[in-house]
A and B are shown apart, each in its own frame.
Chain A
């Protein structure tokens, strides 16, 4: 994990450095659209359709604020049943992520594709329901019976930070297809008593060292508001 982290870290520096090296000496003036881009994460409905234990939706939005900087936001909800070896629980809640993307891709004139790195702050509000568990005992002298407590742990929350890597390509006029992955690290959580936030909406599975990752496949539409001359 650490190796990967280091690798990503280096890439994040190399990409903009390599692309900035190309000097711009063009004098042709073109117009570029600045506006609000809204979209949806395509993976969530597909997963909801394929797996009846998982429901969710994520809306994404971003806006160009400076030449290469975009303010970005993601809003979503999830309702997911997770199965572990000795227990089964449901996580239900919503989340918001806000942050900035830096576009490191030097476009040809008139193109608005992106290869970006970004940072996010994430916040989730959710409930966990412990549906069932089987007490874990070594050996088979007494075989434990599955317990169905149906305990609901309400008003839980989590704060986390994300490092995002992604691409966006304009496939049709003002219509963008995007793919990104994010590396997450938990800042703080409100944990349930005698249970743990093993899955957090927006954060996904919480690994042992309080890290996580996510993948997004987005389809978004740019609502052009202003056109600036470049």
Chain B
């Protein structure tokens, strides 16, 4: 009897210790994907040569980068985010508005926020010539959400 008791006890503790499924590996709150295009040839991507990007009241997200695409987080505590795009010290401001929806992901990841009905509330036009919202719903980071022409 005692032998079995010991065996059961050992088994029970090995059961307790195994399988910890709480490492978050799924994708969570997506960022806004912005791609820069040539205003003269709108199908061609065009680098912004000295790009600095920050959200109003925040630190620099990109600092003097040369790139044709960026991903920027949206503020998930309110329904608007204002970003400043600085190209060779010429600044343009874009104010985004959207609705937020929290979607359950998993035990380990909890909830992610997705953004719907993305709109540009206002935009200055110093170096940015045009913009097109390609996707009003931001629920992944694999598609382009916003095209900027310059």
Chain B residue contacts of A115, Cβ below 8 A: 1, 4
B15 touches A137 (CB 8 A): no
Residues of B56-91 whose CB lies within 8 A of A: 58, 61, 73-77
Chain B min CB distance to A117 (Å): 12
Residues of A155-182 whose CB lies within 8 A of B: 165-167, 169, 179, 181
User: Which of B's residues lie within 8 Å of A, judged by CB?
Assistant: 1, 4-5, 8-9, 11-12, 14-15, 18-19, 21-22, 24, 28-29, 55, 58, 61, 73-77, 102-113
A135 touches B29 (CB 8 A): yes
Chain B residue contacts of A133, Cβ below 8 A: 102, 110-111
Q: Kindly state the separation between the CA atoms of A86 and B111 in the bound complex, as whole angstroms.
A: 7
Chain A residue contacts of B75, Cβ below 8 A: 142
A contacts with B, residue count (CB < 8 A): 36
Whose C-beta in chain B lies nearest to the C-beta of A135? Answer: B113
Chain B residue contacts of A195, Cβ below 8 A: 104
Q: Kindly state the separation between the CA atoms of A142 and B78 in the bound complex, as whole angstroms.
A: 11
B18 touches A215 (CB 8 A): no
A-B contact count (CB 8 A): 100
Given contacts A141-B61, A194-B103, contact A136 B77 (CB under 8 A): no
Q: Kindly state the separation between the CA atoms of A133 and B24 in the bound complex, as whole angstroms.
A: 15
For the complex of A and B, the 6 pairs showing the least CB-CB separation, nearest first, are A86-B110, A137-B29, A136-B28, A135-B113, A208-B21, A87-B110
Whose C-beta in chain A lies nearest to the C-beta of B14? Answer: A4
Residues of A35-55 whose CB lies within 8 A of B: none
Q: Is the interface of A mostly helix, strand, loop or mixed?
A: loop
5 additional A-B pairs beyond A135-B112, A137-B73, beta carbons within 8 Å, are A8-B11, A86-B109, A87-B111, A167-B1, A208-B19
User: Which of A's residues lie within 8 Å of B, judged by CB?
Assistant: 1, 4, 8, 84-87, 113, 115, 133-139, 141-142, 144-145, 147, 165-167, 169, 179, 181, 183, 194-196, 198, 207-208, 213, 215
Given contacts A135-B29, A167-B4, A207-B21, contact A142 B77 (CB under 8 A): yes
Q: Kindly state the separation between the CA atoms of A80 and B106 in the bound complex, as whole angstroms.
A: 19
Q: Could you list 25 examples of A-B contacts with CB < 8 Å?
A: A4-B14, A4-B15, A84-B108, A84-B110, A85-B22, A85-B24, A85-B108, A86-B24, A86-B109, A86-B111, A87-B110, A87-B111, A135-B102, A135-B111, A136-B112, A137-B112, A141-B58, A141-B61, A142-B74, A147-B102, A166-B8, A194-B103, A196-B106, A198-B107, A208-B19
Chain B min CB distance to A62 (Å): 18
